[in-house]
Structure 1
């Protein structure tokens, strides 16, 4: 069915409408063979609070953005290649229900649908697209994923030292390796995580020590060059920026 729709006028019109909603700030989405599978509003768990985001599922990418005017205007476009995606269902907890994790080497996060049926349909379609892509390319499914950031509200004190209490002066930060909410003194070091950034990023002291040991091991004769390879991504988040909230981490 996807192959049949790939070059249809209806599919091209739908993709052009999505492009127009993102305006000139968004990247072009219409390429040969790309099909818009579905779209809808999902609640994305951001670092400060859950927020509604517009998602578009294509046969090869997942696109989402902030809702400015529903069905008319979106901004802060994010494009995720589906061949790098793994999804895991989440159990219902409190008011957050019908959720699942979207995990990639660059960024991982939780989203929630309005109903269990909607969740099932989203997960089924995403899994089908990922399976078809990997089957055609012959690639091995990705096993490396960025940590899911723990929301600010889940931590009143540093999750590493268990001593520093967060206040307007003592700010929260996030370790890019484990996703823990940590204090400044516990996150003064940076480490190069090529799948997330071309520059060293903030990590907690614990993860820094673990990564440093791995780097030393990898540098020994006969070891792989896991920590010495060239950066894979140009999607850089500065150390104190969150891509959705545009605020400190």
Structure 2
């Protein structure tokens, strides 16, 4: 079915409409063989709070953006190659239900559908696209994934030292290795994690010690450590905003 739709006029019009909704700031999406499988609004668990995001599933990429005007305008376009995606279900908890993890080497996060049926359909379609892509390319599934960040609201205290209470002055930071919320003193170290950045990124004291000792999983990819902040690293604002998410 995907092959039949690839060069159809209907598919081209649908992709063109998605491009127009993102405007000039979005990247072109129409390439030979690309098919728009489905779309919908999912709740993305962001650092500050859950937020509605518009998602588009293609046969080779997953695209999402902020909703400016429903079905008409989106911004802050994100494009995720499906070859690098792994998905895992998330147990229902409180008001957060029908969720799953979208995990990639550069960024991992949780999303939630409105119903269990929508969740099942999304996961089935994403899984099928990933399997077909890997089968065609002959590649193996990605084994390395970025940590899912713990939301700020779940950490009133530093998750490393368990002593520092977060306030407007004592800011929260996220370890890029484990995703824990940690205080400034517990996250002064930086380490180069090539799958996430070309520059050293913030890690907590525990992860820094493990990384320095070579305590790595079989698929981890790391490089030169650093414990000093300099002009080649992200500023605190960039570091903590997580690309406005």
Specify the alignment match of 2:227 in structure 1. Answer: none
Specify the alignment match of 1:221 in structure 2. Answer: none
Q: 2:106, 2:195 within 8 Å by CA — same for their partners in 1?
A: yes
Q: Distance in 2 between matches of 1:193 and 1:211?
A: 10
Picking from 223, 227, 239, the partner of 2:222 is 227
Specify the alignment match of 1:63 in structure 2. Answer: 63
- Change beyond 3 A, Cα 1:169–1:61: same
Structure 2 counterpart SS, 1:239:
helix
Q: 1:34, 1:60 within 8 Å by CA — same for their partners in 2?
A: yes
TM-score using structure 2 length: 0.91
- Change beyond 3 A, Cα 1:20–1:133: same
Note if 1:118 corresponds to 2:132: no
Q: 1:56, 1:62 within 8 Å by CA — same for their partners in 2?
A: yes
Note if 1:36 corresponds to 2:36: yes
Structure 2 matches for 1:1-249, cutoff 5 A?
1-214=1-214, 226-228=221-223, 238-245=238-245
Q: 2:53, 2:67 within 8 Å by CA — same for their partners in 1?
A: yes
Structure 2 runs not aligned, ≥5 long? 225-233
User: How far apart are 1:228 and its partner, in Å?
Assistant: 4.4
Q: Distance in 2 between matches of 1:143 and 1:109?
A: 16
Structure 1 counterpart SS, 2:23:
helix
Q: 1:44, 1:110 within 8 Å by CA — same for their partners in 2?
A: yes
* Aligned residues between the structures: 232
Q: Distance in 1 between matches of 2:220 and 2:85?
A: 24
- Change beyond 3 A, Cα 1:64–1:225: closer
Q: Distance in 1 between matches of 2:221 and 2:131?
A: 26
Structure 1 counterpart SS, 2:241:
coil
Q: 1:90, 1:100 within 8 Å by CA — same for their partners in 2?
A: yes
Q: 2:191, 2:202 within 8 Å by CA — same for their partners in 1?
A: yes
Q: Distance in 2 between matches of 1:42 and 1:165?
A: 32
Structure 1 runs not aligned, ≥5 long? 218-223, 230-235
Structure 2 counterpart SS, 1:23:
helix
TM-score using structure 1 length: 0.90
Moved more, 205-214 or 93-102: 205-214
User: How far apart are 1:226 and its partner, in Å?
Assistant: 4.5
Q: Segments of 4+ in structure 1 off by > 3 A? A: 224-229
Q: 2:105, 2:196 within 8 Å by CA — same for their partners in 1?
A: yes
Structure 2 counterpart SS, 1:43:
strand
User: How far apart are 1:31 and its partner, in Å?
Assistant: 0.2
User: How far apart are 1:225 and its partner, in Å?
Assistant: 11
Q: 2:172, 2:183 within 8 Å by CA — same for their partners in 1?
A: yes
User: How far apart are 1:239 and its partner, in Å?
Assistant: 2.1
